[in-house]
Amino acid sequence: MKKIENYINGEYSTPIENRWIDNYNPSTGEIYSLLPNSSVTDVQMAYEAAKTAFPSWSTTSLQHRSDILAKIASLIIENLELLANAEAIDNGKPLSLATSVDIPRASSNFDFFAHAITQFASEAHESMGQNAINFTLRNPIGVVGCISPWNLPLYLFTWKIAPALAAGNTVVAKPSEITPMTAYLLGDICTKAGLPKGVLNIVHGLGNTTGQAIIEHPDIKAISFTGGTATGAHIAKTAAPMFKKLSLELGGKNPNLIFADCDYEKMLTTTLRSSFANQGQICLCGSRIFIERTIYDQFKKDFIKKTKALKIGEPLNKETNIGALVSKSHLEKVKSYIDIAEQEGGTILYGGDYITVKGYENGYYLQPTIIEVTDSNCRLTQEEIFGPVVTIMPFDTDDQALSLANNVRYGLSATIWTNNLNRSMYLAKHIQAGIIWINTWMMRDLRTPFGGVKDSGIGREGGFEALRFFTEPKNVCIHY
Taking CB atoms, the residue at the shortest distance from ligand NAD is 207
Neighbours of 478 (CB within 10 A): 10
Query: Counting contacts by CB under 6 A, is residue 329 touching ligand NAD?
Result: no
Triad 24, 28, 32: Cα angle to 5° = 40
One residue of 186, 215, 322, 325 binding ligand NAD per CB under 6 A: 215
- Least distance from C-beta 330 to ligand NAD, angstroms? 8
- Least distance from C-beta 103 to ligand NAD, angstroms? 17
Q: Which pairs count as long-range contacts for 358-361, CB under 8 Å and 24+ apart, including other chains? A: 359/314, 360/27, 360/28, 360/314, 360/324
| Alpha-carbon gap, residue 445 to 467, rounded angstroms | 16
Query: Counting contacts by CB under 6 A, is residue 333 touching ligand NAD?
Result: no
Instruction: Label the pairing between strands 20-25 and 11-13.
Output: unpaired
Of residues 351 and 457, the one with the C-beta less far from ligand NAD: 457
Query: Counting contacts by CB under 6 A, is residue 234 touching ligand NAD?
Result: yes
One residue of 212, 317, 362, 400 binding ligand NAD per CB under 6 A: 212
Task: Give the Å distances, CA to CA, from 228 to 133, 148, 164, 282, 433.
Answer: 44, 10, 21, 12, 17
List CB contacts of 215: < 8 A, sequence separation 6 or more. 145, 147, 223, 235, 238, 239, 244
- Least distance from C-beta 21 to ligand NAD, angstroms? 11
Of residues 166 and 283, the one with the C-beta less far from ligand NAD: 283
Of residues 150 and 303, the one with the C-beta less far from ligand NAD: 150
* Piece of the chain touching ligand NAD by CB under 6 A; list 24-32, 79-87, 149-157, 188-196: 149-157
Do residues 207 and 223 make contact, with C-beta atoms less than 8 angstroms apart? no
* Interacting residues with ligand NAD between 406 and 435 (CB under 6 A): 412
Which one-letter amino acid corresponds to residue 72? I
Query: Counting contacts by CB under 6 A, is residue 352 touching ligand NAD?
Result: no
- Least distance from C-beta 308 to ligand NAD, angstroms? 27
Query: Counting contacts by CB under 6 A, is residue 207 touching ligand NAD?
Result: yes
Query: Counting contacts by CB under 6 A, is residue 278 touching ligand NAD?
Result: no
Of residues 265 and 445, the one with the C-beta less far from ligand NAD: 445
Of residues 70 and 453, the one with the C-beta less far from ligand NAD: 453
- Least distance from C-beta 148 to ligand NAD, angstroms? 6
- Least distance from C-beta 389 to ligand NAD, angstroms? 14
Query: Counting contacts by CB under 6 A, is residue 211 touching ligand NAD?
Result: yes
List CB contacts of 396: < 8 A, sequence separation 6 or more. 292, 293
| Alpha-carbon gap, residue 124 to 7, rounded angstroms | 40
Of residues 256 and 418, the one with the C-beta less far from ligand NAD: 256
Q: Kindly list the catalytic residues.
A: 249, 283
Q: What is the CA radius of gyration of the chain?
A: 23
Query: Counting contacts by CB under 6 A, is residue 287 touching ligand NAD?
Result: no
List CB contacts of 324: < 8 A, sequence separation 6 or more. 26, 27, 92, 279, 314, 315, 360, 363, 364, 365
* Piece of the chain touching ligand NAD by CB under 6 A; list 22-30, 174-182, 295-303, 350-358: 174-182
Of residues 201 and 418, the one with the C-beta less far from ligand NAD: 201
Do residues 174 and 139 make contact, with C-beta atoms less than 8 angstroms apart? no
One residue of 184, 299, 365, 386 binding ligand NAD per CB under 6 A: 386
Locate the DSSP E strands across 203-345: 222-226, 245-249, 255-258, 288-292
Q: What is the three-class DSSP state of 31?
A: strand
One residue of 36, 149, 180, 459 binding ligand NAD per CB under 6 A: 149
How far is residue 327 CA from its own chain's centroid? Answer: 17
Of residues 36 and 394, the one with the C-beta less far from ligand NAD: 36
Query: Counting contacts by CB under 6 A, is residue 251 touching ligand NAD?
Result: yes
Query: Counting contacts by CB under 6 A, is residue 283 touching ligand NAD?
Result: yes
Number of residues that bind ligand NAD (CB under 6 A): 31
Helix-strand-coil split of the chain, %, nearest 5: 40, 25, 35
Sheet holding 20-25, edge to edge: 2-3, 30-36, 20-25
One residue of 42, 111, 249, 314 binding ligand NAD per CB under 6 A: 249
| Alpha-carbon gap, residue 424 to 263, rounded angstroms | 14
- Site residues (CB under 6 A) for ligand NAD? 147-151, 156, 174, 176-177, 207-208, 211-212, 215, 226-228, 231, 234-235, 249-252, 283, 384, 386, 412, 452, 456-457
